[in-house]
Structure 1
């Protein structure tokens, strides 16, 4: 909601407040002011000029040479606007003037002719193009004939104004109007609100002689008021009205439409003006649409209606979507001489449904949906009639045609002062509470230690005792509420062991060079079970926002791969991401089981020290090393075995085992999956982090550094191509006894001089005794046991 302070002053006294001070007070009272807009910012030395002569530039067909009277002198100004012409009143930026954006106007020579200033358009004055009248959208701003030559244009156009941009919450629909904001500001500043005085002369002819009204859906339209104004002249609105609408973010069109928009912004009551002659029947019938019925709305879109959509008709065909938008078949035009003013109360649910069905939101529908003040429906119609009489020369027919079954009873809320103070945790004097409620214009009586409050219909958000507490608290001042600590037994805060280990995991992953990602827990049906360690039945949302966010995920990998694709598409070729988060697996209960998982995805270069010529692309063993390092950090021992998972490369995938149980997977994304996601070689891992974090780590055991050396033996074994090195390593460790301290693979060979289906795997074995220096005989005895066990397993030593 945009609120012009200059316009606001018509209703409430704000003379003692600067725009910034008023914005601060409104924000502290509970309505956030997002911005304070100075409409004159950057404007300087602008006057009203009169174009005495206008001819073609001798050297440029698209430029005009103008002689402009600016009061004290006549200046030659060159103008390129297509709508410039002799006899116009225009806004002139004199030499030395400034325009928004830091533009400074100087004397200039264009194609050999001197230009002493600039004739301005709306946009050059800092007015947004979307609110500029269509007649001036592509040209200069032509002022009314009575604009005083030489006068300050900034003051004449009310540009020396400030606009407050309010960030309204849905419950404060009352502040979606100037009068609503005036009541709010009046309560804050302890000022009275002055309502518009509505007086006009009625014609002898009555409205009943020209118009009939029937409402066939009173539950959706309990109140409908129509007035008729004849002999109007549709023309451009006066400058003051145009400027107020533009300050409120509304584009001026013509005096009739501008009046309805002005009253909408003033009262918060949507109005609509029909061309009486285009109604053809002299009748208005409000009903629900017929099945298959259509209407062309003012935006020139043909819309198919549903039977529950409420429409305004002429008794034969729809002429408006009730509360949303008028129809093109009854639009006010320059030929219009008689208009019907509609002011009505439409049920919020009905308007919301129609707006949603048609994908069409308007200023009117947004107010109807939140609820309008039923006691402003009639005054708004009268105000529009008054303005049409003043600005369009119309004659208002006597009376109105009305259908009324609307309950306008004010809600009564009773609350005790003790209840208010208990909720706020402070002692607000009873007299202050009464004063605050009266500043809000709430009729209040005190009886039996209760405040009996009649809530005005404009404040439909006040329904229960707590709402009254909020009103008193915000106007008394949230800053006045004392700060207290809870009175209870307390213990010092801290992280649980589980939380500490989770943070340790995150620090380790980041120290390893990965960046943390946070992705959605909701995904599509297609991606929900992809890469899942333990796929179960999916959990679907009852009311999803979209198909892409309709199912709870069972793996973190799909969204991480989406993030990798997003980055590589933007020329970030080397990406390393990790995430800790929950997956959701169907269980026997109503709710799914949440498991905390760790996942990672890496692609591109792992090392790239170009000055040393050292490059290392990511591979399986980079990610495996990260997992092993994490296990060491957590004091856990993980093992790996060949694995398989849909979406991963069958020859480069391993299961991660913990105490013999599969808790994770690591591998390369399958080439076909990589191609589909537009990725190069990419590796991923996912493991059940919860399994690791819930275990108590084994106590640390410190051993003294031994004074005795170790002895190494290397063996090369010929194995079947499908034999896993981990299997052979396990045999070696079991046979090596207490002296065997370490086994590592340092070479794998396949190729020349190897039998088909065979490979050579070389192991380095380290023998060590912490209590003495080993002899060759002791090492040989232990090593022979290893060789014997390998021979029994079918492993041959390579000669």
Structure 2
């Protein structure tokens, strides 16, 4: 939110520097992100007074004006149709400079135009780059003094304030001024609200019927006639532009001006376009539609609240008006709406329509139902003074709810306990009263009446926070009386602790944690389609902010592939990472989410070294990471089986089973997916269900006695067909009952032409130990022969 300093001064007298004001606001919770200084692009332009205007003798569309700068009068040739005697305007004297559209500076010189000498230039707002008005030269008000440097009126300091959603009460110039008043103890100034009214009562001309009583508990309106539509004054256009609004015309600008000044949205209807001069505030009919001011057709549902007449919808309540009641060049009568709409209803409609406006943002964060009348009066004052409007007497006010202030009890001991201070009741009361809270002492507590514009205050702790920020966070010092931190007595959820353990294990293996979005788009879905669940179980977002975030993922693969692609395109080819996240899918009529862990590897397994050349990662590196994970989790007897899963290379993949339970899968990403990614490096990916891993894990630490007696080793080389998996041989070995075999591992694989095509040699190392004595060579040889014979028998039976 951008706040012009000059606008702030309308409400509060400030003699502090912008930097000091920013510091006070930030320390009070309204973070000032930037202070911008806007200097006009012209020099040497003063306020001129037109003393006389006569026709140009040689040009019908030109005039000769006598212009005073307060010291002398000179002759200036001007072509503006609004140039007239008695007006104050922008006078660029000889030597002045103006920035042209091509950003080149135009130096004003004495010249002759159609044979008549011209000593300067009378400029428009467009030429000076201070407004979009091109209809004529600037028409300045009486506040401008003749001869003044015009630049000082348009040099502006703007505060850019970051507002969190709970600070809606400060989302206006008046709201920020009110905060400064509380912080600095400076009283607020009042802006003009009184205006002349006509004898005719508004109820004689207009009627409002509120049917949606729950979602529109208060609705107010005034009628302004004989409005003269035109450009807003330069000062108003300048302020609106600095605040981020585009000036349109005086009526629309006034509603935007009041919105930003007072913080309450208004809407102006062209009264002559309202059928039967009657407005209905009602729920929309199913499939009813309107074309909003942004030119888009909006389909409505019965949950939307609308403003309508007897024939058509005129606006979506609290969000945006329709173009069929828009104020335009032919407008002479304006019906001004100020209402309080239910925040939940406005938020739902805004989200459903994908339409976030300045009005909807303020309504859904909690507007002040008791601020309507002041906002209406301020708009009527401006319409009367700037657009010549005649305001009809009285105000239409339809209310279906009592908007009484909340009363909250605030205990002084509790304030001091939380803040670590020793404040008295009167000190707390003084601080709260500076925030316009009404207080009443009750023992060691205060009964605090909270203004209705403070929708963020609902309980005692909110009041304590207000005391802290007004007392000054910088004044709260750490002391012995500060409250001690207490951790929760509740234990963490099992799933949370297990996820944290998985992260710790994977980080300890040198992997980097990645975080990707739960939402993916059609492009990512197409790339990793084989890894995802069927389309019928996927969950789509009803109102996505982007088509690329429109589907909830059913695998972690798409997001991690996107990470790999992003890095690969930037010539980062070595990736060792993991993610712990959620997947989402339909399960019949219900929706489910499950926690998953995924690992992704690409590139070299280690950096370049002088001693050894780096080697590319492969399937077994990924398998090793998983085996280390399983070992830490106490998962024994995991089996790896190739189930020909589509996302992976046919010969470099495995599904992982613990008993009969499939807990995950790993492999080299299929070349077809790599082609879609336009990545030439192999990518290795694994994904596991954390609930299943937890089910088969054994996290109870067990202490084993250190053996007293030595081991004895035997190697055995077995010639097999190339299609016989190592896992099967290991299964045959470990299936032979043995009290002496402590472990067995594969130590070598050899293939070659001497061995023959389709054959391989596997060399296993057997480790034998008797925990009660030292084994003799004969005992080891006998046991080893028995096991090897059993394995050979098993192989014969299989064949």
Q: Give the TM-score, by structure 1 length.
A: 0.72
Whether 1:334 aligns to 2:332 is no
Corresponding position of 2:313: 318
Residues 1:703 and 1:621: Cα distance change in structure 2 (over 3 Å) = farther
Residues 1:91 and 1:372: Cα distance change in structure 2 (over 3 Å) = farther
Where in structure 1 are there 5+ consecutive unaligned residues?
Answer: 53-67, 76-81, 110-116, 770-775
State which drifts further: 235-244 or 633-642. 633-642
CA distance in 1, matches of 2:566, 2:164: 35
Deviation of 1:384 (Å): 1.7
Deviation of 1:436 (Å): 1.2
Deviation of 1:251 (Å): 1.4
Deviation of 1:163 (Å): 2.2
Corresponding position of 2:699: 694
How large is the Cα RMSD of the aligned pairs?
5.8
CA distance in 1, matches of 2:104, 2:70: 21
Deviation of 1:190 (Å): 0.8
CA distance in 2, matches of 1:19, 1:218: 45
Deviation of 1:509 (Å): 2.8
Corresponding position of 1:719: 720
Corresponding position of 1:34: 33
Q: Is the 8 A contact 2:42 2:96 kept in 1?
A: no
Corresponding position of 2:254: 259
Corresponding position of 1:748: 751
Residues 1:561 and 1:242: Cα distance change in structure 2 (over 3 Å) = closer
Residues 1:693 and 1:150: Cα distance change in structure 2 (over 3 Å) = farther
Q: Is the 8 A contact 1:739 1:782 kept in 2?
A: no
Q: How does 1:491-570 map to 2 (within 5 A)?
A: 505-510=505-510, 514-519=511-516, 557=557, 559-568=559-568
CA distance in 2, matches of 1:229, 1:472: 44
Among 242, 246, 249, the alignment partner of 2:241 is 246
Deviation of 1:468 (Å): 2.3
Q: How does 1:18-167 map to 2 (within 5 A)?
A: 18-40=17-39, 45=43, 47-48=45-46, 89=90, 135=133, 143-144=138-139, 151-157=148-154, 159=155, 161-167=156-162
Deviation of 1:428 (Å): 1.0
Deviation of 1:171 (Å): 2.7
Helix, strand or coil at the partner of 2:370: helix
Q: Is the 8 A contact 2:418 2:483 kept in 1?
A: no
State which drifts further: 659-668 or 401-410. 659-668
Deviation of 1:188 (Å): 0.5
Residues 1:621 and 1:346: Cα distance change in structure 2 (over 3 Å) = closer
Deviations 1:264-304 (A, max 9, x none): 22222222222333336444343334444433332233333
Deviations 1:531-555 (A, max 9, x none): 799x9x99999999899788796x6
Residues 1:424 and 1:73: Cα distance change in structure 2 (over 3 Å) = same
Deviation of 1:434 (Å): 1.9
Residues 1:225 and 1:673: Cα distance change in structure 2 (over 3 Å) = closer
CA distance in 1, matches of 2:748, 2:160: 69
Q: Is the 8 A contact 2:582 2:593 kept in 1?
A: no
Whether 1:12 aligns to 2:15 is no
CA distance in 1, matches of 2:786, 2:425: 95
Whether 1:232 aligns to 2:235 is no
State which drifts further: 760-769 or 568-577. 760-769
CA distance in 2, matches of 1:311, 1:586: 35
Q: Give the TM-score, by structure 2 length.
A: 0.72
State which drifts further: 630-639 or 574-583. 630-639
Helix, strand or coil at the partner of 2:166: coil
Q: Is the 8 A contact 1:296 1:328 kept in 2?
A: yes
Residues 1:705 and 1:381: Cα distance change in structure 2 (over 3 Å) = same
Corresponding position of 2:773: none
CA distance in 1, matches of 2:398, 2:220: 7
Deviation of 1:249 (Å): 1.6
Among 176, 180, 189, the alignment partner of 2:175 is 180
Deviation of 1:474 (Å): 1.7
Helix, strand or coil at the partner of 1:33: strand
CA distance in 2, matches of 1:574, 1:312: 60
Q: Is the 8 A contact 1:351 1:369 kept in 2?
A: yes
CA distance in 1, matches of 2:17, 2:426: 29
CA distance in 1, matches of 2:408, 2:765: 86
CA distance in 1, matches of 2:744, 2:308: 93
Corresponding position of 2:429: 434
Residues 1:10 and 1:694: Cα distance change in structure 2 (over 3 Å) = same
Corresponding position of 2:466: 471
Whether 1:398 aligns to 2:393 is yes
Deviations 1:164-208 (A, max 9, x none): 222223233221222222221111011212222323223344434
Q: Is the 8 A contact 1:319 1:330 kept in 2?
A: yes
Whether 1:486 aligns to 2:484 is yes
Residues 1:149 and 1:665: Cα distance change in structure 2 (over 3 Å) = same
Whether 1:375 aligns to 2:374 is no
CA distance in 2, matches of 1:83, 1:197: 33
Deviation of 1:234 (Å): 1.3
Q: Is the 8 A contact 1:200 1:389 kept in 2?
A: yes
State which drifts further: 354-363 or 252-261. 354-363
Q: Is the 8 A contact 2:598 2:685 kept in 1?
A: yes
Q: Is the 8 A contact 2:218 2:398 kept in 1?
A: yes
Where in structure 2 are there 5+ consecutive unaligned residues?
Answer: 51-66, 110-119, 490-495, 770-776
Residues 1:559 and 1:122: Cα distance change in structure 2 (over 3 Å) = farther
CA distance in 1, matches of 2:192, 2:569: 63
Deviation of 1:651 (Å): 2.8
